C-alpha cells in the first residue's frame, strides 16, 4: 500500500482511539463521583438516624438494655464496616488479564500477518501495542494469582472445601 494511505488510516485510527479514551475516562470519573456522592449521602442519613435514636435514651442503662435486645444487635451490625470482597477483585483482575492477553496476542498476530503488506510503520505500531497489551495482561494474571495465594494464606478467603459447603 501507499504510505499516504497508511498515514491517513493511522490518523483516523488515532483520532478514534483518543476520542474513545477520553469518553471512557470521563464516564469513569462521572461514575466514581456519583457513587461517592451517593455513599456520602447514605452515610450522613444513617448517622442522623442513629444519632436521633441514641438521643431518645435518657440513661445509659436504657441504652445498654436496648443494645442487648435483638433490635440493638441489628443496630450494631448495621454500623459495622462492610467486608472487603477480595475474591471479586481477584476475579476482576483475572478477567482484565485474559482480555489484555487476548488483545495483545491478536494485535501481534495481525501485525505479523498484515504488517508487511500495509507498511513498516503499521507493523511497528501493531507489534508494540500487542507486546504492551500481552505483558500487561500477563502481569494482571500473575497479580491475581499472588493475591489469591496471599488471601488464602492470611485466612481472608475460606478454604475451597468450606466455600463449597456454604
pLDDT of 160 = 63
pLDDT of 88 = 83
Domain spans of the chain? 1-82, 83-166
pLDDT of 101 = 93
pLDDT of 134 = 93
Q: What is the spatial distance between Cα 18 and Cα 39, in angstroms, rounded to a whole number?
A: 31
pLDDT in tens, the chain (166 residues): 567 776 777 777 777 777 888 898 899 899 989 989 998 998 888 888 878 877 887 777 887 888 788 877 777 777 665 555 778 888 888 999 999 999 999 888 888 887 667 667 778 888 888 899 999 999 999 999 999 998 888 888 776 665 555 5
pLDDT of 144 = 92
Q: What is the spatial distance between Cα 69 and Cα 66, in angstroms, rounded to a whole number?
A: 5
pLDDT of 118 = 66
pLDDT of 65 = 82
- Contacts within 8 Å (CB) and 24+ apart, 154-163: 156/84, 156/86, 157/86, 157/87
Task: Tell me which residue of 32, 151, 135, 20 sits closest to 84, measured CA to CA.
Answer: 151
* ∠ Cα 65 47 86 (to 5°): 95
Rounded to two decimals, the pTM is 0.53
Task: Tell me which residue of 148, 131, 144, 152 sits closest to 98, measured CA to CA.
Answer: 144
pLDDT of 145 = 92
Max Cα distance, the chain (Å): 87
CA 140 to each of CA 24, 69, 94, 143, 160: distance values in angstroms, whole numbers, following the listed order:
20, 47, 7, 5, 22
Amino acid at each position: 500500500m501507499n504510505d499516504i494511505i497508511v498515514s491517513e488510516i493511522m490518523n483516523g485510527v488515532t483520532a478514534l482511539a483518543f476520542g474513545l479514551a477520553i469518553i471512557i475516562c470521563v464516564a469513569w470519573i462521572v461514575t466514581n463521583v456519583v457513587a461517592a456522592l451517593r455513599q456520602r449521602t447514605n452515610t450522613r442519613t444513617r448517622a442522623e438516624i442513629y444519632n436521633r435514636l441514641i438521643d431518645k435514651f435518657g440513661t445509659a442503662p436504657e441504652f445498654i438494655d436496648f443494645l442487648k435486645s435483638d433490635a440493638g444487635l441489628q443496630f450494631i451490625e448495621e454500623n459495622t464496616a462492610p467486608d472487603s470482597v477480595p475474591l471479586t477483585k481477584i476475579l476482576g483482575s483475572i478477567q482484565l488479564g485474559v482480555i489484555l492477553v487476548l488483545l495483545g496476542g491478536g494485535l501481534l498476530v495481525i501485525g505479523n500477518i498484515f504488517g508487511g503488506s500495509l507498511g513498516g510503520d503499521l507493523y511497528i505500531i501493531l507489534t508494540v501495542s500487542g507486546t504492551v497489551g500481552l505483558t500487561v495482561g500477563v502481569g494482571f494474571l500473575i497479580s491475581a494469582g499472588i493475591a489469591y495465594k496471599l488471601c488464602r494464606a492470611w485466612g481472608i478467603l475460606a478454604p475451597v472445601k468450606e466455600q463449597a459447603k456454604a
